[in-house]
Amino acid sequence: MSTVAENTAVSAAPPKPLMARINWVKLAPWLYTIALFVLWELLVIVLQTSPTVLPAPSRVFQAVAQYWSPIWKNSLQTLYTTTLGFAIAVAAGLALGILVGWSKAIYAGLYPLMVGFNAIPKVALVPILVIWYGIGTIPAVLTAFLISFFPIVVNVATGLATIEPETEDVLRALGAKKLDILLKVGIPRSMPYFFGSLKVAITLAFVGSVVSETVASNYGLGNMMSSAQSQFNVPLVFAGLLALAVEGIAMYALMAWIERRMTGWAHRSSMSH
């Protein structure tokens, strides 16, 4: 027995073999991404697909380098319309969510309206926005806003509506007004729901802005891809998709980071159960 214990103690001292020192969990996202691109490349080689149908990743990266300047400019434009629309959605969603969570009557009145509104495909609203504001930045911002604010409203309202009745009783018995309960309990309590909804909302905001740019703009990744498509420049279409994916992942990661920073308590307390 004792020799076994000694052995393990000794073997712990020299550096571990390379494979054991690598943090596979940390590395996994990169490995899987690379694997995806390799598979894609192999598939294109084996099936000998034409670049106008499915370009190989190497061809797409080549397009990224070749069209770097338009891709960069249009990416910034899309990032701008998306984050602006998203920011408006955050402000409006938070305000409306608190309003809806504040009163049962407002909730009852607004809820069916919001569900109905949310059921409308937002792409159908773009022509209307174009009639009002012309093509370009404003419809893209507004589409991003319209598509992303619903999950924020619902989440904030849910956080407010699920306050434990006992907590409310304890405070009301002390003479707390409705506003006290909203400020002391309701709003802090709904913050994890709110920050959680940002991840969903930012992704949707990209959908909204790109849809709008595709049909009604002269700028942005959506527009760039639709004009590339009309010129059969399929590698550039894929380069645009790649740029969108990168922006989407970056913003999602940012939202996830903000969520962790702001509401760490919610992941440890009973609320997360």
From CA 83, how far away is CA 77, in angstroms rounded? 10
Angle between helices 220-230 and 68-102 (to 10 degrees): 130
Place of tokens 């960069």: 72
For other proteins, give the closer residue by CB, 87 or 271: 271
Binding segment for other proteins among 143-151, 162-170, 198-206, 207-215 (CB under 8 A)? 162-170
- 108-116, long-range: CB < 8 A, 24+ apart: 114/150, 114/153, 114/154
Show the binding pattern over residues 75-104: x = contacts other proteins (CB under 8 A), - = does not: ------------------------------
Of 66, 103, 162, 269, which lies in the binding site for other proteins, with binding defined by CB under 8 A?
269
Decide: is 174 part of the binding site for other proteins (CB under 8 A). yes
By CB atoms closer than 10 A (0-12, 13-18, 19+), residue 152 is buried
Decide: is 227 part of the binding site for other proteins (CB under 8 A). no
Place of tokens 């009163």: 103
State the nearest-atom distance from the C-beta of 163 to other proteins, in Å: 10
Q: 254 near 243, Cβ under 8 Å? A: no
Residue 50: which region, alpha, beta or left (left: phi > 0; alpha: psi -120 to 50)?
beta
Binding segment for other proteins among 105-113, 148-156, 187-195, 241-249 (CB under 8 A)? 187-195
Of 148, 83, 88, residue with least CA distance to 122: 148
Decide: is 241 part of the binding site for other proteins (CB under 8 A). no
State the nearest-atom distance from the C-beta of 233 to other proteins, in Å: 52
Decide: is 270 part of the binding site for other proteins (CB under 8 A). yes
State the nearest-atom distance from the C-beta of 189 to other proteins, in Å: 8
Q: Point out which residues bind other proteins (CB under 8 A).
A: 164, 166-167, 169-176, 180, 184-185, 188-189, 191, 263, 265-266, 268-271
